[in-house]
Every structure is written in structure tokens, then in C-alpha cells.
Amino acid sequence: MRSDPGVGDWPRTLMYFAWVMLMAFFFANAEIQIEGGAGWASSLPTWRIEKHWALDIFWGGRAMTGYHAWVFSFMTLVFFAPLAFNGRWHWSDVALALGGLAAFWVVEDFLWFVINPAYGVARFDPVHVPWHPRWLFGLPVDYWWGGASAVGLGWLHVRLRQRQSGTAARHHVL
């Protein structure tokens, strides 16, 4: 008998986000090997759309590249793969996948600068990183949105799991 259904989801959720950060570390290193010091695919043989009103709204004002279109799509599929193959689709799982994806991109992008020999923390600023056009309190605005989204979606995941566990317990389906 559990007094607080779903309370056990916090440790698993935190471990999931720790795993996401490990994935971000590996992907940042791979992306450094691909891009070198030329961030935002500026030296890659890929198509680019530099200016478009939709990029200002949905892409933080950055250029859209073929490289990023494919990489972002691929990582979205990676984060939603468990939902496709585990035989269930719950809103709690969607929240966790979206939260993980948001955390992944914030951590991966920051680690790209920290690890990259061409940058480091000292060159992590609007002057040296023009592809992040909007900054707030020393970080790209996207980091604040992404971080808040990851925390909020992680919290939502746990709350929805608690609700699911409570419903399952009431119906004796555990």
C-alpha cells in the first residue's frame, strides 16, 4: 500500500535528466568534430535560410540550415522512440520526452562552447556567438526558455504519473 502514489517517480525522472545530460555531452563532442570552431554549421556544405519571419518566431532569429533541420528532427525521433516502441502513449511520457529534448539542446549547446577549443567559457558571449542573437543575464534567451520548459515538463511528467498511479491504484491495476 502506497501512501503517496507516484512519489517514486522523482528519482527516476532525475536519473532520466542525468542521462540526457550525458547524451548531450557525447553529442556536443561529436558536433565539435563536425563543425570545429565554425558554429551554427557556418562552414558546412549545407543549405541556409538566413532571414525569414518564421525563424524570428520559432527559431530564435537564427538561420535555418539543412544540417540543423536534420539533426533536430533526428533527436526528436530519438526522444520519442520509447513512446513508439513501449506499447503505450501517455501524456506523462510526452511531457518527459519534450522536457528531455529541451534539456538536451540547452546542455548540448552550452557544452559545445565549454568543450570546444575554439571557444571555451571566456568566448561565450554575444560578441563571439552571433548565431545566438538574444541574450539575458549572460545566457542566450533560448537557454532560459529551454531550461524553464525542461523543469516544467519534468514536473508535469511526475504529476501526471502520480495521477495515473492513483487511478491505477483505485482500479487495482498496477
Q: Quick one: which of 48, 89, 88, 92 has its CA closest to 66?
A: 48
Q: What is the pLDDT of residues 28-55, one digit of tens each?
A: 999 999 999 998 998 999 999 999 999 8
Q: What is the pTM of this model?
A: 0.87
Q: What is the pLDDT of residues 100-156, one digit of tens each?
A: 999 999 999 999 999 999 999 999 999 999 888 899 999 999 999 999 999 999 999
